Structure 1
Amino acid sequence: MDIPIFIFAALLVHCVFLVSIFDIYFSSPLVHGMTPQQTPLPPPAKRLVLFVADGLRADSLYELNSNGTPQAPYLRGILENNGSWGISHTRVPTESRPGHVALIAGFYEDVSAVAKGWKENPVEFDSVFNESKYTWSWGSPDILPMFAKGATGDHVYTFCYAAESEDFGAQDAAKLDIWVFDHVKSFFNSSRSNQTLFSALNEEKVVLFLHLLGIDTNGHAHRPNSREYKENIKKVDEGVKEIASIIDHFYGNDGKTAFILTSDHGMTDWGSHGAGHPSETLTPLIVWGAGINYPQKVTSQFFGDNFLKEWKLENLKRLDVNQADIAPLMASLIGVPFPLNSVGTLPLEYLNNSAHFKAESMFTNAVQILEQFKVKMSQKKENTLSFLFTPFKPLSESEQINFLKKIRLYIQQQKYNEAVSLCKTLINLALEGLSYYHTYDRLFLGLSIAMSFVGWTTYVILVIIKTHTNLTKTVPTNNKKSTVLFYGFAFAGMIIAFFLLIQTCPWTYYVYCLLPVPVWYAVVREIPVIQDLATNVLSLRIGQSIGFLLVCILGIEILVFSFFYRSALTVGLLVFAGWPVITQLWVQAKTRALIWTLLCVLLAIFPLMPVVGREPNIPLVIAAGLLTLLISCFSLANKYRNNEDLKVYIYQMLSIALSTYVVSSTHDSLKKKLGLPVLNQIISWMILVSSPVLLLLSPTFLFQRLFSILLSLMSTYLLLSTGYEALFPLVLFGLMFVWINMEQEALQRYGLSLKPKLAVFDFAYAVDITQFRELHLDDVRRSFFFVFFIVTAFFGTGNIASINSFDPASVYCFLTVFSPFMMGGLLVLKVVIPFVLVSCAFEAVQVTTQLSSKRYTFSSLFL
């Protein structure tokens, strides 16, 4: 196969592998076509007020101050005297959009929403707001519009502040919450002179939603243990008290208003969220008003944690729920149909109503979830051949009818406890069935992808051996056998496509299921190569073969473990430190070998450092910038004398100095709550844009170009750093620099020329050197080094966690106003920078070892 065709095929196959992960494991769980289900009995409340304090942790609200006073006196009084309380358990990703979807729509959103910055609606879904008579909402433009867009008709109204208000560098983000409270007060005041609005507010099934973003913003900017975060909680407490009083007064204290206060997610001590730490997944839930139980006294209760004792709430019953359970609770309180896509279970212990009402509400909840199960089952049954379809046996059609009949009979006989118990059983079975049908094709598709992956790996190995080694000999092609083979695989592909066609499968299924056909066809065509290779392997020493195989397995296992335990990278780097001793390079290059060992040990420290959870350490960033300047001065003083190229390096060093200053100045300004200085912002963006340009103007000699790459990337990386990770590129680059020199020394074992000399090698005049030599076992080791260093660049400082656990501190030099795509893009850039350093070093190794980069590419594709 020609090189361009092979590279294109490799990219195509790997794209399929990547897309398949999201398509198979992260597809949308939603189905459509269900019948709305509503409790037939009159609801306890005419209206519902939902307060969502974005980013509020459960412990931050419930814990007492050092002097024994509550953090939120009004809400503390509510849970002690007027309502019920507990913890709402959220799910990953703990972000604002999926949290609000779970609260208001009752289902856990699929990951595809992240591609739209958690702003748009990747899928249409029903919600409590959509089912209400009227909904008025106030708050962030990132959250409110998605529920209005998903609503049918014109009954969900939003009032949003400007997106620019969401500034992490603002003096006090509590102003966002004050804006909401002030506009709600103005809204009720204006309604008295607006008869249309007044009439609408006095309708039944009304929802008022207050989205309070200040706590989240202050948590990001100042951390949850800061004075700003705690002061914001107090302001929210005061605002909730005032709004509750205004609403009660507006409705004449009719006792028909239900109030809910909760949060979409929590926040870690270091001001981030997105992952599954308990501080992110445990959020408060306080409910009071119409239809809600009063506090229930208990003598003891056990939850497996010490929170109750810490919060001094041991004697008040704690009612924990899953976040999606709040949606059916809201629907039950105001008597609207349960959201069609809700998978939440109504938490009956929160309700203060008759046993009949509770039983009917649970029955409605069970039927609503059963409706989703029936639609999901029907869709899967229609798209699967009858003799291949395997139904969910615990909930067959006859079992469904039996459940519904028994529950209805129990309700008629006033056996409400039995009815509720049976409803819960039915809900659990329906949820299991939903999961069963949602993942119905997962095993089948997963096996197809696995077959493709194994086949592709086998084919790449064969291509490497056939094209770039002398282990096999060219075998004449048997046209007759090739023709039979082609038609055989073509027939197999047609059979697979036919089965997919008659089952009306999505087009992606064709890609996943047909991909193994051409891949394995390519493998089978190389059977002569396999036979020839087997003959050569059997002629080798058994001890050598086994030893090489064990080393390969060990190396790959370390790589695999590093995806789960970053400390595995430390083990690998410490093993690398002994490489010069094992291979006798210590004798040839003692100084370089010593530096290699030292840098391996230094780099091994980084994977042991915390991924997230660290406080900003700006002095370390400044130290990294000054150290870069010091190394630059030392290097340039030894290499340049009155050279025009020196100007480029001076400009790059100036960028490093400016980056160091901007980082220090920006964080100092934010610490003083003066915001992001405009000049600093301009300089940051100019450095980001100009760095690649300066790089292209640098000399094309190997080491000069590599050094220029470091300076260009380092100036941007410093602006995106907040702590120890600023030192990571320096250590990594130092190791890459030594690696290039060590590989040149390693060539002597093959008696190869050391020319061209690296010091004078010019990329501008580089030629293809494929004719120099074939692949050796050492080249497999070099490819493994490359892959290992790429993984180290990815996980070395845990930069990827900054994307998963959103912490905007890294981008403060560029912007402080919330912008998911812009901030996410900058964080991705921060992750990519170490990749570039490793990739450039690997290209230099190709030059050093006098081997075509194409051949290294093949071996790297294999790994």
Structure 2
Amino acid sequence: MITFFLVGLIVHVVFFLSIFDIYFTSPLVHGMTPQATPLAPPASRLVLVVGDGLRADSLFTLLHNGSSRAPYLRNVIEERGTWGVSHTRVPTESRPGHVALIAGFYEDVSAVAKGWKENPVEFDSVFNESRHTWCWGSPDILPMFAKGASGDHVYTHTYPAEEEDFASTDASRLDSWVFTQVKSFFQSAKSNSSLRASLLEDKNIFFLHLLGIDTNGHAHRPVSQEYLDNIGLVDTGIAELVSIVEDFFNYDGRTAYVFTSDHGMTNWGSHGAGHPSETLTPLVVWGAGVQNAHRVTEPQSYNDGYLQDWKLEHLRRVDVNQADIAPLMASLIGVPIPVNSVGVLPLLYLNNSDQFKAETMYTNAIQVLEQFKMKMTQKKETTLSFLFTPYHTPFHSPLSVSHQISLCQSLISHALEGLVYYHTYDRFFLGCSVVLGFVGWTSYVVLVILKTHAGLNRHPSLLKQIPSHTLARLCICVTVVITMFLLIQRSPVTYYIYCLLPVPVWYSVLRESGTLTDLIRSAPSLPLWKCLGYFVLVAFGIELLVVSFFHRAMLTVGLAVLSVWPFLSGLFGKAKFRSLSWFLGCLCLAAFPLMPVVGREPIIHLKVYHTILTCPTEQMIHVAVCAYVPYLTHSSLQQKQGLPLLNQIISWTTLASSMIVPLLSSTRLFHRLLSIFLSLTATYLLLSTGSEALFPPVLSWLMFVWINIEQEAMLAQGVSGRQELSTIDFSANIDITKIRQLKLDDIRRSYFFVFFIITAFFGTGNIASINSFDPASVYCFLTVFNPFIMGGLMMWKVIIPFIIVMCTFETIQVATQLSSRSLFLIVLVISDLMALHFFFLVQDYGSWLDIGTSISHYVIVMSMTIFLMLLSVVTHIFTTQRLILWRRPKMHFP
């Protein structure tokens, strides 16, 4: 059992990691020559201001009286600048947003996961190409550009990380700090000759990262007065900043200004997913080399309705992709475009000669083409010549300044397509290897189930007459051929794993394939129609679970169908009360997938009802306290009094004790399960902000009913030796002689388990809620921004319903006299079939949200499978072990 568990874990880890090599590899290539426009740039310096978390509509929408909350920027838009919307890509987070803005490429997900402040890969940026760059702002953003720059010409000034507190009385002070520091910087430069000399040089950049808007949005929501007032503060600060800069440089007209945002924010104060409120950010550019406001009389091509809402339909709107801003900034000050940039220069922002525009666009095209050539060369060197299929490009060469700008734009478009082509060159090959291994593993598990637990009639098998050494030699030959092929192509080490793993898997399948012959010969004695009916229902159920990943309401449909199971199976006549409890429990749980996953307003009083639903034990007082702590925390934060220290102590103590307290209780079935439920629910309460607080008690109620009703199902099947629930002790040794063979009904039990696991994950959330969670959920624990601790707390919140379902399944295994391995193998097959389904649904076309979601589904199912393997061990310990902190002294009698 241990060997099989470890092998299965390794296989699934390999399948899980394969998706990163296929879809999450870094798009960066190195070795290109930087490209810069030879003509003199229009600006000597550039000021980049990023209002972190600022939505486009929050800036552009006018107040009810027709005035703007950002009058200075509004004046720039209407009189002396060019404006538009910058479209961001998923994930809409600070790090990838700033990388796209400043480096010009969209960072792969693996890089985001490897480091928030550090650089997992070296990449070029506009800051790196500048002569000097001075930065002010958050310690979470600035260091990655300083550490990624060559030389020592990027200077950062950051405030302490503790200042990023969502419970701050006034988060806009973060932006005030930046503006104050910039003002002091220019003031000190007047008396510092060396600094002044550096400032008077060309190709300089000043970067202001303003985190106050984002922090206020998380703490108070984007519709709050704090968030909107912070926009006004930023607008005033920019006006003063421009005055200071222009005064320092004697109004030489050589300064360009760019104001934008890294991402937006939902109405409920979160970001990370692909909602328009998160992906639409403002872009305002003015100053040296920038086109002045261009008035139009004809209707513009944008039909999203925003122009009319913002009262800007009379001014030309120029939308860009976020990565396009990097080549725009580079062209304004005459530095090379970052070598890894995939941005396309938005010419409508430039106010210069046609020759300058053509030269700049030509430079942009050559810069992208350099990446294409490098990518093609790398792939050609690692592919056998007769297998290499080049990308058919309609490139024209050589280009010159006399060529039309449209030809350069066409060149950029085809070069970017070629980059994608070579970046995904091995995708089909790797995908086939993974699928081959997947199918082989699933086939092997099915054969193991049939051989070990199905009680088939044994017959001599023709396949077993094939000598084992013949199969071994065949596998060795295949392994040598694959290895030589990969060696010649100089493939990465991971390729060997993906391509060689199917060999031992299929070797095991061929060795066990005699079991298939036994099944065929036993077919006449099997209830074929009943078997066919079960498999059809399970196949339909698997498809329902697959669809539920896209539409959570399908879980409601599934729970409604499950609710009538006792009536259809005949259990209602034998256990009316339990059948009705099952019916009501399923319907109550079915309400949660219909509730919104994000955007919920805090409903603190629901937690009081939750406390009433819990059973009166010695832990009830603790649960009641935990239900009250979020209310006190919410009130304190609303009054801007910060997070009370006592609440924080209670929260962290509850979290730390949630895995210890159940181990102190009795190992009797209901005592231990109730203790687990109350302990985990106390933590869940502290991480809840609304109706999801009711989810654990409703789920636990249904799980208790499931345990009881499975006992009735066993009795209806006439299973002898059925153990009464009241007598079950988790710590008791299982009598192996009472372990029975698998029955068709065990397939239903396994499917129920998978269904409830999916419901536990999606019942109160989905992909959007994971990518775009509400930070208010963790305010009982901390309010200072820390992405890893906050992410860990949210993951624990997700795991808690898992543990409740896993403990229930552990109980059912004991109560139905079935080995844990038997049911778990069926669960493994169902999960792997779902994972294989999602593997085929992964796509690399369409919107970035569609691509990311399709990959996320596969990752979630594979993570769930691996996680369930590990969690089954944890759950077994959680239910069977007991801690004895003290023992009563033995009494000695004479």
User: 2:608 & 2:102 partners in 1: Cα distance?
Assistant: 46
Q: How many pairs does the alignment contain?
A: 828
Shift of 1:539: 5.3
Shift of 1:840: 0.1
Matched, 1:230 2:239: no
The two structures, once aligned, show a CA RMSD in angstroms of 1.4
Moved more, 761-770 or 440-449: 761-770
Partner of 2:358: 359
Partner of 1:149: 147
Partner of 1:387: 386
Return closer, same or farther for 1:256/1:342 CA change in 2, 3 Å cut-off. same
User: 1:29 & 1:380 partners in 2: Cα distance?
Assistant: 13
User: 2:471 & 2:303 partners in 1: Cα distance?
Assistant: 63
Residue type at the aligned position of 2:419: L
Partner of 2:434: 449
8 Å Cα contact 2:96/2:106 also seen in 1: yes
The residue matched to 1:394 in structure 2 has which SS? coil
8 Å Cα contact 1:758/1:848 also seen in 2: yes
The residue matched to 2:404 in structure 1 has which SS? helix
Moved more, 485-494 or 356-365: 485-494
**1:714 equivalent among 660, 666, 681:** 681
Residue type at the aligned position of 2:516: I
User: 1:763 & 1:475 partners in 2: Cα distance?
Assistant: 41
Partner of 2:892: none
State the TM-score, normalizing by the size of structure 1: 0.94
The residue matched to 2:166 in structure 1 has which SS? coil
**1:738 equivalent among 702, 705, 710:** 705
Partner of 1:640: none
The residue matched to 2:750 in structure 1 has which SS? helix
Partner of 2:113: 115
Residue type at the aligned position of 1:678: L
8 Å Cα contact 1:131/1:337 also seen in 2: yes
Shift of 1:474: 6.3
Residue type at the aligned position of 1:31: V
User: 1:74 & 1:117 partners in 2: Cα distance?
Assistant: 37
**1:437 equivalent among 422, 432, 435:** 422
8 Å Cα contact 1:794/1:800 also seen in 2: no
Shift of 1:534: 2.2
8 Å Cα contact 1:50/1:209 also seen in 2: yes
User: 1:27 & 1:727 partners in 2: Cα distance?
Assistant: 41
Partner of 2:887: none
CA deviations on 1:210-259 (whole Å, 9 max, x unpaired) are 00000000000111111010000000000000001100011000000000
Shift of 1:823: 0.3
User: 1:655 & 1:404 partners in 2: Cα distance?
Assistant: 75
User: 2:405 & 2:607 partners in 1: Cα distance?
Assistant: 60
Shift of 1:857: 1.4
The residue matched to 1:471 in structure 2 has which SS? coil
User: 1:765 & 1:542 partners in 2: Cα distance?
Assistant: 38
Matched, 1:764 2:764: no
8 Å Cα contact 1:266/1:280 also seen in 2: yes
CA deviations on 1:773-803 (whole Å, 9 max, x unpaired) are 1000011110111111111101110066443
Residue type at the aligned position of 2:231: I
User: 2:550 & 2:350 partners in 1: Cα distance?
Assistant: 43
Matched, 1:322 2:314: no
Matched, 1:823 2:790: yes
Matched, 1:784 2:751: yes
Partner of 1:158: 156
Residue type at the aligned position of 1:390: T
Return closer, same or farther for 1:474/1:794 CA change in 2, 3 Å cut-off. farther
Partner of 1:637: none
Shift of 1:66: 1.2
Partner of 1:102: 100
User: 2:599 & 2:736 partners in 1: Cα distance?
Assistant: 48
Return closer, same or farther for 1:743/1:311 CA change in 2, 3 Å cut-off. same
Return closer, same or farther for 1:524/1:235 CA change in 2, 3 Å cut-off. same
Residue type at the aligned position of 2:163: S
Moved more, 801-810 or 468-477: 468-477
User: 2:466 & 2:80 partners in 1: Cα distance?
Assistant: 86
Residue type at the aligned position of 2:209: H
- Kindly report which structure 2 residues correspond to 1:523-672, keeping only aligned pairs within 5 A, or say none: 523-537=509-523, 540=526, 543-628=529-614, 632-633=615-616, 649-650=617-618, 652-672=619-639
The residue matched to 2:658 in structure 1 has which SS? helix
**Structure 1 unpaired stretches of 5+:** 413-417, 634-648
CA deviations on 1:569-590 (whole Å, 9 max, x unpaired) are 1111111001101110101110
Shift of 1:541: 5.4
Report sequence identity in percent: 62
8 Å Cα contact 1:138/1:211 also seen in 2: yes
The residue matched to 1:304 in structure 2 has which SS? coil
Residue type at the aligned position of 1:19: L
Moved more, 617-626 or 242-251: 617-626
Partner of 2:886: none
Matched, 1:489 2:475: yes
Residue type at the aligned position of 2:177: W
**2:489 equivalent among 498, 503, 517:** 503
Residue type at the aligned position of 2:613: L
**2:289 equivalent among 281, 291, 298:** 291
Residue type at the aligned position of 2:518: D
User: 2:197 & 2:386 partners in 1: Cα distance?
Assistant: 59
- Kindly report which structure 2 residues correspond to 1:25-424, keeping only aligned pairs within 5 A, or say none: 25-299=23-297, 300-394=299-393, 399=395, 403-405=396-398, 407-408=399-400, 411-412=401-402, 418-424=403-409
User: 2:71 & 2:464 partners in 1: Cα distance?
Assistant: 86
The residue matched to 2:54 in structure 1 has which SS? coil
Return closer, same or farther for 1:503/1:685 CA change in 2, 3 Å cut-off. same
Shift of 1:485: 1.1
Shift of 1:772: 2.9
State the TM-score, normalizing by the size of structure 2: 0.91
Partner of 1:646: none
CA deviations on 1:803-824 (whole Å, 9 max, x unpaired) are 3114211100000000011000
8 Å Cα contact 2:122/2:148 also seen in 1: yes
**2:665 equivalent among 698, 705, 708:** 698
User: 2:632 & 2:767 partners in 1: Cα distance?
Assistant: 26
Shift of 1:394: 1.8
Return closer, same or farther for 1:770/1:83 CA change in 2, 3 Å cut-off. farther
Residue type at the aligned position of 2:44: K
The residue matched to 2:207 in structure 1 has which SS? strand
Shift of 1:622: 3.2
Residue type at the aligned position of 2:505: V
The residue matched to 1:342 in structure 2 has which SS? coil
Residue type at the aligned position of 2:439: V
Residue type at the aligned position of 2:755: F
User: 2:568 & 2:528 partners in 1: Cα distance?
Assistant: 21
Shift of 1:759: 1.1
User: 2:123 & 2:816 partners in 1: Cα distance?
Assistant: 58
CA deviations on 1:102-125 (whole Å, 9 max, x unpaired) are 000000000012323532211110
Shift of 1:80: 0.2
Shift of 1:550: 1.6
Shift of 1:542: 5.2
Return closer, same or farther for 1:538/1:41 CA change in 2, 3 Å cut-off. farther
Residue type at the aligned position of 2:211: L
Moved more, 720-729 or 791-800: 791-800
**Structure 2 unpaired stretches of 5+:** 831-894
User: 2:9 & 2:471 partners in 1: Cα distance?
Assistant: 25
User: 2:303 & 2:437 partners in 1: Cα distance?
Assistant: 45
The residue matched to 1:211 in structure 2 has which SS? strand
Partner of 1:835: 802
